[in-house]
Structures are given as C-alpha cells and as structure tokens.
Structure 1
Amino acid sequence: MAGAYKNTPPAAEDKGAMTAENLAAALAGESQASQKYLAFADVADAEGFPNVARLFRAVAYAESTHARNHLSVLGGIGTTADNLKAAWGGETFEIAEMYPAYDAVAKLQGNESAQTSISYALKAEVDHQGIYDSTLKGLEGKKDLGATAVRVCPICGHTVIGDAPDECPQCGTAGSHFVEF
C-alpha cells in the first residue's frame, strides 16, 4: 500500500514520492479550507458579524497561501502559456470525465440539488475552456486580454469576457448581478 509505514526505508526510486503525495493532499485540503472559510465569511456578514467575517477572510487568505506554496513545490506553476495549457487541461477533464460521472451518480441517487450544482459547474467549465483556449491563442500572438473585464454569474459561475448578458443563459440571473474582475 502506497504511503503505508514500513520498517525499511523506501527504495531509492521512491524517494520523495510520499512527500509529493502528502503535498498534493495538503494542496487539496488547504484549497477546500480557503473556499469553506470564504463561504463562512459571507454567512457571518449576512448575520451581522463583520469582524467574524473579516477573521474568516483572513484565514482563508492564509490557507490559500499555503495551497499556492504547496502547488509551487509540486512544480504546478509555470509560464503563463504553460499555466493556460494546464488550466485548459483541467477544464477538459472536468467536462469530459469528472462532471458527467458525478452527474450520473446524482441522477441515480435522485439528488436534484446536486444535479443542478453539477450542471451549473459543467456549463461554466465549458465557458472557461473556451476562454483559456482563445486567451492562449492571443498570448501566442503576443496579445494580452487588454483592459477587457471578465464577468462571472454569482449563482452558476457562467463566465464571459466583456459585458455581462442581460440575463445569464444558464440560470437566468440578471446580468447586473454578475461580479466583475
């Protein structure tokens, strides 16, 4: 069993493999903690506890810093072109494999809330894949995105470059609610 304790040291060719597995697990855990704490901060704000919200956001930032450090040590951060290719690959996996499998299980189990969440994510991943693809092509032509805003639907994650639509085509949220980056 990989990662199991042994009385003898791992073979020379395995040196560092357990550390890499541990860092990958820590990256996932720190990333999840960061997102969880940001959600907790929103609840604290809504309940009238701005100082608790600030605490959650600060710790979320720290957890995100840990995740980025682990990703860096794992060699997961490259040039902008490399990072766009990696991001495109991640979106492709989510579109082709991950979300279809998760959706099938949610349907089998009759979990409509999960199906909606998965559907929103899958459609947004298609947006992201296309945006990464066109951005990489522009980058290869030595063009940046310029001053164009990126806007995201706060309900389903639908992502657009430029102006928000009048209404989100995925979930119907008014375009005026899109978050601008």
Structure 2
Amino acid sequence: MKSLKGTQTEKNILTAFAGESQARNRYDFFAAKAKSDGYVLVRDIFQETALQEKEHAKRLFKFLEGGDVEIVGAFPAGIIGATEANLLASAAGENHEHTEMYPSFAAVAEKEGFSEIAAVMRSIAVAEAYHEKRFLALAKDIKEGRMFMREKATVWRCRNCGCLVEGTHAPEMCPACAHPKDHFEELNYTF
C-alpha cells in the first residue's frame, strides 16, 4: 500500500481512531451505570460494544505510519446519565458513524487510492449500524418497562447461572443461584 503520510485519509483514520477510543471509554462508564440502575444485560451489551470499539480502533491504528498528525475534530463531551439516556446518546453516536462519518471517510479513501482502508471503513459502519439497533431496542424496552416482562409467557434466562424460568415476568430472584431479577434476560431476545 502506498504511504498515507499527508493525506486526508490519514487524518480521517486518526479522527475515527479518536472517536472509537472515546466511545470505548464512554461505554465502559455507561456499563457501570447500567449495572447500578439494575440492568445487567445492558451492562453486558455496553461492555461487549466497548470491546468491539477497541477492535475498530486497533484496526484503524494499524494503518497509521507514526509521527504527528494534526486533526481538528469535535467529540461528544457527554455525561453519565440514566441508562435509557446513555443508550439513546450512544445510539446517536453510532448513527453518525454509520450514516455519515464512515461512508464519507470511505469515499475519500477510495478517491485517494486506499481501497483496502475504504473496505475496512465500510465494514466497521455495518457493525456500528448493529450497535445503534441494539441500543435503541434496549432503550425502548426500558422506556416501556419491558426489560423484565412480556405480554405473553416467554423463557427467561439467568445470565449468571443459565437457569431457565418460564413466565410473563422475570422472577424476582433466580431459583438456582439466588441472583436478583436484574440478571435475567429473555432467552431469545432479539434486537
């Protein structure tokens, strides 16, 4: 691959790297808040997504060639709010990445002759779209009071021990390991 030095693609990679790195940290902070709010599934989704953002950052970082690169960017300062608000803020960030940032960065990379980088950026955008979808689904369930209840009987799985319980509501306590309700998820939860 030809050198990135001095290209707009180099600047875009560093901008994306910074954004992915910051998102990872925000998601770790939001995971702790979700746990304290009683949403273990949401905590786990934030933690999983944080690791995926780290992998995006790592993949992009490997394209860089060292040295100092000056970039100008705006990044969300954000706050740690209630879990529903954190999910919605996260979904908005993911939406920006997959609808605006990565498509435009990929187009620039293609124009500058970096097809491999463009392909990576388009692939990352696909993951970001899924992140947005999950965050929005979880926020909706919290808003509607559906994290631990359904209209029809379903199977609830304890995320701690794997115990399965059937009903319209997750049990207040796992009958197998005695963990509280916040450790339950619908067995076939789809986003």
Q: Do they fold alike, i.e. is TM over 0.5?
A: no
| TM-score normalised per structure 2 | 0.38
The structure that is strand-richer by fraction is 2
| TM-score normalised per structure 1 | 0.40
The structure that is helix-richer by fraction is 1
